[in-house]
Chains A and B, each alone.
Chain A
Amino acid sequence: MAYRIQRLPSSTPLIAFAARVIAVVLALLVTALILAISGHDPIDLAGQVLSSSLLDSFGLQDLGVIFIPLMLTGLSVAVAQQIGAWNIGAEGQFYAGAFAATAIGLFIPAPDWLSLILMVIGGFAAGAIWILVPTLAKAYADVSELISTLLLNFVAALMVYYVATGPWHDRMTNSSTPKVGAEIPEFWGAIHWGFPIAIVFAIVLALVLSNTKWGYEVRLSGSNPSAAEYAGIPVRRHLIMVMLLSGAIAGFAGMLEVAGTVHRLQGGISNNYGYIGIMVAVLARGSLVGVIFAGAFMAFIQNSGIILQTQGLTTSAVLAMTGLILFLTAIGEELSYYRITRDKV
Chain B
Amino acid sequence: MQDEIPAAASSPGTPPRVYLKGIAKYFPGVIANENVDIEVLPGEIHALLGENGAGKSTLMNILTGIYQPDAGEIIIDGYARQFASPVQAIAAGIGMVHQHFKLVQAFTVAENIHLGWDETPKRTSAAVLEARTAELAKTFNLQVKPGARVSELSTGEQQRVEILRVLSRRAKILILDEPTAVLTPAEARELFRALRDFVSHGNSVIFISHKLDEVLEISDRISILRQGRKIATEKAADCNPRMLAKLMVGRDIVLDDMRERAANAKPMSAEPVLKVSGLSALGDNGLTALHDLNFSLRAGEILGIAGVAGNGQRELSQVLTGVRPASTGDIMIAGKTMAGLKAGEFAAAGIGHIPEDRLHSGLAPAMSITTNAVMREYGKPPVAKGGFFSREAAGKLAREIAGAADVAIPDFAMPIRNLSGGNQQRLVARREMRIAERILVAAYPSRGLDVGAINTMLRYIVELRDAGAGVVLISEELEELLNLSDRIAVLYEGRIMGILDNNNLDIDEIGLMMGGRAHVGAGEAA
Cβ–Cβ contact B417 & A231, under 8 A = no
Q: Are A10 and B418 within 8 A (Cβ)? A: yes
Q: Which residues of A contact B (CB under 8 A)?
A: 9-10, 210-217, 219-220, 223-224, 226-233
Distance (Å) between the CB of A297 and the closest chain B CB?
A: 26
* A231 CB contacts on chain B under 8 angstroms: 343-344, 347, 375-376
Residue B53 interfacial (CB < 8 Å)? no
Q: In the docked arrangement, what's the CA distance between A47 and B366, Å?
A: 43
- Provide the B78-112 mask, 1 if CB < 8 A to any CB of A, else 0: 00000000000000000000000000000000000
Contact A224 B364, beta carbon cutoff 8 Å: yes
For residue A224, which residues in chain B have a CB less than 8 angstroms away from its CB? 360, 363-367
Q: List 7 A-B contacts (CB under 8 A).
A: A212-B389, A213-B378, A213-B388, A216-B371, A226-B361, A227-B360, A230-B321
- Taking A213-B379, A216-B378, A232-B347 as contacts, is the C-beta distance between A227 and B363 under 8 angstroms? yes
- Cα–Cα, bound, A228→B362 (Å): 8
- Which residue of chain A has the shortest Cβ distance to B341 in the bound complex? A232
B371 contacts A227, C-beta separation under 8 Å: no
Determine the distance from Cα of A230 to Cα of B345 in the docked complex, in whole angstroms.
Answer: 11
Q: A216-B371, A224-B360, A230-B362 are in contact. Are A9 and B376 (CB under 8 A)?
A: no
Q: Is B459 an interface residue (CB 8 A)?
A: no
For residue B348, which residue of chain A has the nearest CB?
Answer: A232
- Determine if B345 and A232 form an interchain contact, defined as CB atoms under 8 angstroms apart: yes
Query: Which residues on the B side are within 8 Å of A230 (C-beta)?
Result: 321, 323, 343, 353, 355, 361-362
Complex CA–CA separation, A216 to B383 (angstroms)? 11
Most buried by A among B321, B343, B417: B343
Expressed in whole angstroms, the Cα–Cα distance for A280 and B142 within the complex equals: 57
Which residues of B in the span 306-332 have a Cβ within 8 Å of any Cβ on A? 321-323
Chain B residues with a Cβ closer than 8 Å to the other chain, count: 34
Whether the pair A229, B323 counts as a contact (CB closer than 8 A) is: yes
Asked whether B344 lies within 8 Å of A233 as measured between CB atoms, the reply is yes
Q: A213-B388, A224-B364 are in contact. List 5 more A-B contacts (CB 8 A).
A: A212-B388, A220-B367, A224-B360, A224-B363, A227-B360
User: Which residues in B have their C-beta under 8 angstroms from that of A233?
Assistant: 344
B387 touches A213 (CB 8 A): yes
Q: Per a CB cutoff under 8 Å, which of A214, A219, A226 touches B367?
A: A219
The answer to whether the Cβ of B251 comes within 8 Å of any Cβ in the partner chain is no
Contact B379 A220 (CB under 8 A): no
B389 and A220 contact, CB distance less than 8 A: no
Q: Residues of B contacting A213 with CB < 8 Å?
A: 378-379, 384, 387-389
Question: Once the chains are docked, how many angstroms separate the CA of A224 from the CA of B374?
Answer: 15
Which of A211, A212, A226, A232 contacts B342, CB < 8 Å?
A: A232
Chain A, residue nearest B347 (CB) = A232
Q: Would you call A219 and B371 a contact (CB within 8 A)?
A: yes
Among residues of A, the one whose C-beta sits closest to the C-beta of B353 is A230
Give complex CA distance A304, B391 in Å. Answer: 41
Chain A positions within 8 Å of B348 at CB level: 232
Q: Which B residues between 22 and 58 are near A, CB-CB below 8 angstroms? A: none
Least distance between A69 CB and chain B CB atoms (Å): 31
A210 to B343, CA, bound (A): 24
Residue with the highest number of chain A CB atoms closer than 10 Å, among B364, B379, B387:
B364
Measured in the bound complex, the distance between the Cα atoms of B355 and A212 in whole Å is 27
CB nearest to B413 among chain A residues:
A13
Q: What is the chain A residue whose CB lies nearest that of B358?
A: A227
* Contact assessment for A211 and B367 in the assembled complex, using a CB-CB cutoff below 8 Å: no
Contacting residues, chain A, for B345 (C-beta < 8 A): 232
Contacts of B278 in A (CB 8 A): none
* Residue B523 lies at the interface, judged by CB distance under 8 Å to chain A: no
Q: Inside 8 A of A228's CB, which chain B residues have their CB?
A: 364
Q: Across the interface, do A211 and B389 meet the contact criterion of CB distance under 8 Å?
A: yes
Q: Does B156 contact A (CB under 8 A)?
A: no
How far, in whole Å, are A224 and B357 apart by their CA atoms in the complex? Answer: 13
B contact residues around A217 at 8 Å (CB): 378
The yes or no answer to B65 lying at the interface (CB within 8 A) is: no
Residues of A close to B362: CB separation below 8 A:
227, 230
Residues on B with beta carbons closer than 8 Å to the beta carbon of A210: 389, 391
Set A214, A223, A232: member contacting B344, Cβ < 8 A = A232
